[in-house]
Amino acid sequence: MINVKAFARFREVFGKELGVELNGKATVTDLLTGLCVTHDAHDIIFNESGGIKKYVNILVNGRHIQSLSGTQTELADGDEVAIFPPVAGG
């Protein structure tokens, strides 16, 4: 079971927190694709080329996926994935 937490505008689409069951070896891409299908949200996460939009930040267990294996980061039972937009402020 993967624990997904969504923030800001993504919370409106996915809800605050949800558990997602993934079969076998799954990646961040697998998780996001599944979430987008069940919530009809492909356009807010993925760009026209199928990559994650630049303004979408994904953390796995508190680490940005760019410091891991990107969208091919493998997920394991108990992992926490956070989805949020850029943080702005002053």
Global pTM reads: 0.89
* Rounded CA separation 19/67 (Å): 24
Instruction: Give the chain's length.
Output: 90
Rounded distance, CA 68 to CA 41, Å?
24
Q: Per-residue pLDDT for 75 more than 90?
A: yes
Q: List the Cα angle 5/69/83 in 5-degree steps.
A: 15
Domains, the chain, ordered by start: 2-84 (3.10.20.30)
What does the block give as tokens for 69? 């294996």
Categorize the per-residue pLDDT at 62 as very low, low, confident or very high, splitting at 50, 70 and 90.
very high
pLDDT tens digit sequence for 3-49 = 999 999 899 999 999 999 988 889 999 999 999 998 889 999 999 99
Q: Rounded to an integer, what distance in angstroms lies between the CA atom of residue 67 and that of residue 42?
A: 24
